[in-house]
Chain A
Amino acid sequence: MDISIFSGQADDNTPTAKLNSGSEVFEGAQARRERIRGMLFVSPWLVGLGLFYVFPILASLLMSFTNYQLVSDSGVSTEWVGVDNWRRMFQDARVWNGLWVTIKFAVMFIPMSTLFPLGLAYLLTSERLWGRRFFRVMFYLPSMIPFVASVMVWRFYLNDQTGWISKILGSVGFEAPNLLSSKELILPTLVFIAMWGVGNSIIIFIAALNGVPTQLYEAARIDGANKWRLFRDVTWPMISPITLYNITMSLVALGQYFLVPFVLQGPSGKPEGASQFFTMVFFQETFSFFNGGYGATLAWGMFIVVFSLSVVIFKTAKYWVHYEYEER
């Protein structure tokens, strides 16, 4: 008796083993061919990725170590300046102001951009709400309007002389706050405007809420859970991966937050730089002052900040994000 059959070890000289070996050779060759074909199929996208993403990213990193100017007098050449731009970034008061403005905004914006759409999604999935579909459309509609157009409307809306808020407050005897010219109120105002565009987050939360298995609620109810316990112990853990996603997306959006304050408050971020976000400093240096090298440094600086915060969020995720299946 060939004991190897029982031990699971095939003898290389047996006919069965030879057949298996031939099959492996055949499959190996086929696998190689398929890999090559696969590479051929994805090669256009790889070329695009290389040319339009990887190369510019690496080029911008290199640029950050040069004094590259978008427009310079003839005869002036780009030179390697080492870490001068990076040193300048740490000493630039406008950069620190831009970072501080961005952080203050983030402290308000990230919780709001998570809790506000979650709250609305919770309402919009309520079975008792009449006209759910209508409200879902209404809350999503602002996301479809170009932000520049909406910012112009907001400018009129928030005007302390003739805006609606001013008129409403004035009609009940209150003096309207100067929302756009007050150093204290401008960031909360921008957060308020930002809530206009949370339609996408609402849709994602609605999908997540609808995905929570109903039997979990039924089991919890049998155990005597009230509404708060249902939310805290069933809903929240089950939608926590989506919450993590939304927070990460908010963080990335924050790193690119530019359009609204730029259009509403101008490149200097009035009043007195109180709304000059880091991205606006980057824009001004690169596209107004044409300092391409320094601008690249600022872009990388922002990337490092956002990337670091994202890493922190992902590292803390194990304490508050619940996955239905254990990670392997």
Chain B
Amino acid sequence: MKLLKRRRLGRLKTSLALLLTLGLLAAACGGSSENADSSESSSDRSDSNEGESSSGDRVEIRWFVGLGTGSQEEQIDGQEKIIEEFNDSQDQIELVVEFVDNGTASSVLATQIAAGNAPDIIGPVGLGGSNAFAGQYLDLSGLIESTGYDIERFDETSEIYRDDDGLTGIPFAVFPSAMYYNKDLFDEAGLPYPPAAYGDGGITTYGEGTEWEGEWNYDKVEEISKILSVDVNGNDANSPEYDKTAIEQFGYVNQFTEDPAAMGSHFGAGSVVSPDDTAKIPDQWVAQWKWYQNMIHNLGAAPSFEYQESEVMAGNAFNSGRVAMANTHLWYTCCLADEDGNFRDNWDLAALPNYEGTVVSKFHGDTFRIHEESEHPEEAFEVLVYLQDTAGLELLSIYGAMPADSGGAGNFFVELDQQFTQDVNWDVIIDGLDYPDVPNHEANMPNFLEADARIKELKDPILSDPDFDIDAAVKELESDLDEIWSEG
């Protein structure tokens, strides 16, 4: 009898355990049913609130941010506000955003596309970031035509985004380059500021009417950089006592523009693809790499990679207050603040120097793309137009970008003046549009991802190795590129 009871008890325990397991399984797999319940209750609530439509009736448009600018912490709140305003403004579309860190955005997007889960809108993204996903974007020509969108106002700029797939982007933001300079360091050294405007053909003069007067070119940059570079003992880089192992401040840096193609373009635009489709590194690029290597390692007038990564510069050399001049883009206004987030007011903008008579204001351009497999291209285009136009100025301010539509530039700089109250010389940015790098340093090329990674391998040795043989490296690079392109 006891045995029978024990067996019954055992069966009961087994059944309970089975039930518990099934319950746990149901709970684990039942996320959707729970969601269904919650959405049901939310629709119940919306039913009770007349005039409000439940999000379930709306078409969901996913916006992927991070391939270019936009995913930095300080940029997120502003974009979320814009999304909220868009969602409140109509009841047909639910805009959902995904912020992905720029370092991993490319991999995340690739994985989403591979899984058949591509977002509808991707951007803002520059040409370089876009090249990685060439062939994935929707041709917007049909939508532009059917909606009557005014593309003509961008003149020829929109042609940047025309490729074999059609017109895959609308110009949104442009980022010309200029010379940022630290007024305090120039004052301290008793040097005149770099020229505030371009002259004929971009050629201008430095220190007019002073003992430093001369053509504003990279030789002059080198000359004054040596005066502005100071070691711990107060010697400048012209002094035989100058201690290159203990430098306190430098004259010049290619701020965040140290990828070889970007650096090379400072001395003149060019393409690594020669007319016969073989690799040929432009001569002016090689000259620029040698010039910068010399500035860093022989003269001690520009910070090495190690200096830039040290705790005193923390990866943002010019902002550290230890570099007098920085050649970089308009977007660098994002990163001119102290540890508490207060915008710096001791800098201004100047014209860029020439190299052998050529001035280049290296150019970045951002746009929004629609993925070709978007299930709702019309709705995605509606959002894209909203981001471009209605929310455009606000977004441009968040991204530190100038509108591609030159008519909006004035308002944009008024917004920037509220952040930087020192009356920055923004004219030199607008004038820089006359000296873009054509072909662009981020232009597409065969087997782009591998070729681009190979070119970028030159950056570290140029910045870190005083003995790096640039001529030999260039020959090797050309040979490797030919091989990479033949594989592609």
Q: Do A and B bind each other?
A: yes
Interface residues of A (CB under 8 A from B): 37, 40-41, 44, 70-74, 155-156, 159-163, 175, 178, 180-181, 266-268, 270-272, 284, 287-290, 292
Of A71, A155, A178, A288, which is within 8 A of B309 by CB?
Answer: A155
Question: Considering the chains assembled together, what is the distance between the CA atoms of A162 and B306 in angstroms?
Answer: 9
In the complex formed, the residue of A with least CB distance to B468 is A272
The answer to whether A288 and B306 touch across the interface, beta carbons within 8 angstroms, is no
Question: Considering the chains assembled together, what is the distance between the CA atoms of A287 and B135 in angstroms?
Answer: 18
B191 at the A interface (CB under 8 A): no
The answer to whether B306 and A290 touch across the interface, beta carbons within 8 angstroms, is no
User: What residues on B are CB-neighbors of A267 within 8 Å?
Assistant: 453
B245 at the A interface (CB under 8 A): yes
6 interchain pairs, CB-CB under 8 A: A40-B21, A71-B133, A71-B136, A156-B310, A163-B310, A289-B450
The answer to whether A41 and B310 touch across the interface, beta carbons within 8 angstroms, is no
In the complex formed, the residue of B with least CB distance to A178 is B306
The answer to whether B113 and A71 touch across the interface, beta carbons within 8 angstroms, is yes
With contacts A70-B110, A71-B110, A284-B453 taken as known, whether A271 is within 8 angstroms of B310 at the C-beta atoms is no
Q: How far is the CB of A299 from chain B (nearest CB, A)?
A: 15
Of B113, B134, B309, B465, which is within 8 A of A271 by CB?
Answer: B465
User: What residues on A are CB-neighbors of B465 within 8 Å?
Assistant: 181, 271
User: What residues on A are CB-neighbors of B305 within 8 Å?
Assistant: 181
With contacts A161-B310, A288-B449 taken as known, whether A70 is within 8 angstroms of B114 at the C-beta atoms is yes
User: What residues on B are CB-neighbors of A72 within 8 Å?
Assistant: 135
In the complex formed, the residue of A with least CB distance to B136 is A71
Q: How far is the CB of A1 from chain B (nearest CB, A)?
A: 34
In the complex formed, the residue of B with least CB distance to A265 is B460
Given contacts A40-B21, A70-B113, A284-B453, 11 further A-B contacts (CB under 8 A): A37-B14, A71-B114, A156-B311, A159-B309, A180-B306, A266-B460, A271-B460, A271-B465, A288-B449, A288-B453, A292-B114
Question: Considering the chains assembled together, what is the distance between the CA atoms of A74 and B306 in angstroms?
Answer: 43
User: What residues on B are CB-neighbors of A272 within 8 Å?
Assistant: 457, 460-461
In the complex formed, the residue of A with least CB distance to B133 is A71
The answer to whether B106 and A162 touch across the interface, beta carbons within 8 angstroms, is no
User: What residues on A are CB-neighbors of B456 within 8 Å?
Assistant: 268
Question: Considering the chains assembled together, what is the distance between the CA atoms of A71 and B17 in angstroms?
Answer: 46
In the complex formed, the residue of A with least CB distance to B372 is A74
User: What residues on B are CB-neighbors of A155 within 8 Å?
Assistant: 309
How many residue pairs, one in A and one in B, have C-beta atoms under 8 Å apart?
A: 82
In the complex formed, the residue of B with least CB distance to A33 is B14
User: What residues on B are CB-neighbors of A37 within 8 Å?
Assistant: 14, 18
B4 at the A interface (CB under 8 A): no
Of B110, B245, B309, B310, which is within 8 A of A290 by CB?
Answer: B110
In the complex formed, the residue of A with least CB distance to B111 is A70
Question: Considering the chains assembled together, what is the distance between the CA atoms of A289 and B107 in angstroms?
Answer: 9
Contact mask for chain B residues 98-118; partner A; CB cutoff 8 A; 1 contact, 0 none: 000000001100110110000
The answer to whether A159 and B311 touch across the interface, beta carbons within 8 angstroms, is yes
B307 at the A interface (CB under 8 A): yes
User: What residues on A are CB-neighbors of B472 within 8 Å?
Assistant: none
Q: How far is the CB of B246 from chain A (nearest CB, A)?
A: 8
With contacts A44-B25, A181-B305 taken as known, whether A289 is within 8 angstroms of B310 at the C-beta atoms is no
Q: How far is the CB of A319 from chain B (nearest CB, A)?
A: 45
The answer to whether A287 and B110 touch across the interface, beta carbons within 8 angstroms, is yes
B312 at the A interface (CB under 8 A): yes
With contacts A175-B245, A271-B461, A287-B107 taken as known, whether A73 is within 8 angstroms of B309 at the C-beta atoms is no
Question: Considering the chains assembled together, what is the distance between the CA atoms of A163 and B306 in angstroms?
Answer: 10
User: What residues on A are CB-neighbors of B284 within 8 Å?
Assistant: none
A-side interface mostly:
loop
B87 at the A interface (CB under 8 A): no
User: What residues on A are CB-neighbors of B312 within 8 Å?
Assistant: 162
The answer to whether A74 and B135 touch across the interface, beta carbons within 8 angstroms, is yes
Question: Considering the chains assembled together, what is the distance between the CA atoms of A265 and B464 in angstroms?
Answer: 12
Q: How far is the CB of A23 from chain B (nearest CB, A)?
A: 13
Contact mask for chain B residues 112-128; partner A; CB cutoff 8 A; 1 contact, 0 none: 01100000000000000
The answer to whether A270 and B114 touch across the interface, beta carbons within 8 angstroms, is no
Q: How far is the CB of B468 from chain A (nearest CB, A)?
A: 9
The answer to whether B307 and A161 touch across the interface, beta carbons within 8 angstroms, is yes
Question: Considering the chains assembled together, what is the distance between the CA atoms of A156 and B133 in angstroms?
Answer: 35
The answer to whether A159 and B310 touch across the interface, beta carbons within 8 angstroms, is yes
The answer to whether B306 and A271 touch across the interface, beta carbons within 8 angstroms, is no
With contacts A44-B21, A71-B136 taken as known, whether A268 is within 8 angstroms of B460 at the C-beta atoms is yes
Question: Considering the chains assembled together, what is the distance between the CA atoms of A271 and B310 in angstroms?
Answer: 17
Question: Considering the chains assembled together, what is the distance between the CA atoms of A175 and B243 in angstroms?
Answer: 13
User: What residues on B are CB-neighbors of A181 within 8 Å?
Assistant: 305-306, 464-465
User: What residues on A are CB-neighbors of B133 within 8 Å?
Assistant: 71
With contacts A44-B25, A70-B113, A181-B465 taken as known, whether A270 is within 8 angstroms of B310 at the C-beta atoms is no
Question: Considering the chains assembled together, what is the distance between the CA atoms of A123 and B25 in angstroms?
Answer: 48
Of A40, A159, A162, A288, which is within 8 A of B107 by CB?
Answer: A288
Q: How far is the CB of A280 from chain B (nearest CB, A)?
A: 12
The answer to whether B453 and A268 touch across the interface, beta carbons within 8 angstroms, is yes
User: What residues on B are CB-neighbors of A40 within 8 Å?
Assistant: 18, 21
User: What residues on B are CB-neighbors of A156 within 8 Å?
Assistant: 310-311
User: What residues on A are CB-neighbors of B304 within 8 Å?
Assistant: 161
The answer to whether B306 and A159 touch across the interface, beta carbons within 8 angstroms, is yes
User: What residues on B are CB-neighbors of A180 within 8 Å?
Assistant: 306
- A-B pairs, top 10 by smallest CB distance, nearest first, are A73-B135, A162-B310, A287-B107, A270-B460, A70-B114, A70-B110, A156-B311, A159-B310, A181-B464, A289-B449
Q: How far is the CB of B14 from chain A (nearest CB, A)?
A: 6
Question: Considering the chains assembled together, what is the distance between the CA atoms of A178 and B465 in angstroms?
Answer: 11
**Which B residues between 279 and 335 are near A, CB-CB below 8 angstroms?**
304-307, 309-312
User: What residues on B are CB-neighbors of A71 within 8 Å?
Assistant: 110, 113-114, 132-133, 136
The answer to whether B460 and A288 touch across the interface, beta carbons within 8 angstroms, is no
Q: How far is the CB of B105 from chain A (nearest CB, A)?
A: 11
With contacts A159-B311, A178-B306 taken as known, whether A289 is within 8 angstroms of B453 at the C-beta atoms is yes
